[in-house]
Amino acid sequence: MAIGPVEYIVIGFPGNKFNGEIAPELAKLVDSGTIRVLDLVFIGKDADGNVAALEFEDHDDVALFNALEGDVGGLISEEDIDYVGDNLEPDSSAALLIWEDVWATPFVQALRDSGAVLIEGSRIPGELIEAAEAAFTTAD
């Protein structure tokens, strides 16, 4: 079975202000077959600098994520959690999310079947694209 590109993000919640608006949008991506969530862990740091991690199914504040379909978990290691926790400010939290870009699986399979290899890839932040497009618009 081919697997599409796998990506991760760390989403910060300064002041632990998590309102749950992300869960329904993430569920839409899963339901549409655009992505498959592979792992999701929430990491928090209290005012004293103590770090705690919890799986999304283990806490009421993130219960909305329970609607995600499929087997989720097992890819995020203690080292990953320590890395995120070490970089959190006190009284803040983060979500560490790993997903597969299911939409790209046929393209990836075609690349493999043709003998192609990935040489480089990266994400370009939306802010940079918006700035470049604005510069093009004002240049016309």
Read off the pLDDT of residues 38-70 as tens digits, 9 standing for 90 and up. Answer: 999 999 999 999 999 987 655 555 555 555 555
- Structural domain total, the chain: 1
Query: Considering the domain boundaries, does residue 124 fall inside one?
Result: no
Q: Can you tell me the distance from the alpha carbon of 47 to that of 59, in angstroms, rounded to the nearest whole number?
A: 20
Query: Considering the domain boundaries, does residue 121 fall inside one?
Result: no
Query: Considering the domain boundaries, does residue 88 fall inside one?
Result: yes
Query: Considering the domain boundaries, does residue 40 fall inside one?
Result: yes
Query: Considering the domain boundaries, does residue 119 fall inside one?
Result: no
Expressed as residue numbers, the domain containing 30 is 6-103
Q: How far is CA 128 from CA 17, 39, 44, 133, in A?
A: 26, 28, 30, 9
Query: Considering the domain boundaries, does residue 125 fall inside one?
Result: no
Query: Considering the domain boundaries, does residue 118 fall inside one?
Result: no
Instruction: Decide: 36 and 100 in contact? Cβ < 8 Å.
Output: yes
pLDDT tens per residue across span 117-130: 889 988 898 999 99
pLDDT tens per residue across span 72-120: 678 999 999 999 999 999 999 999 999 999 999 999 999 999 999 889 9
Query: Considering the domain boundaries, does residue 89 fall inside one?
Result: yes
Model confidence, pTM? 0.79
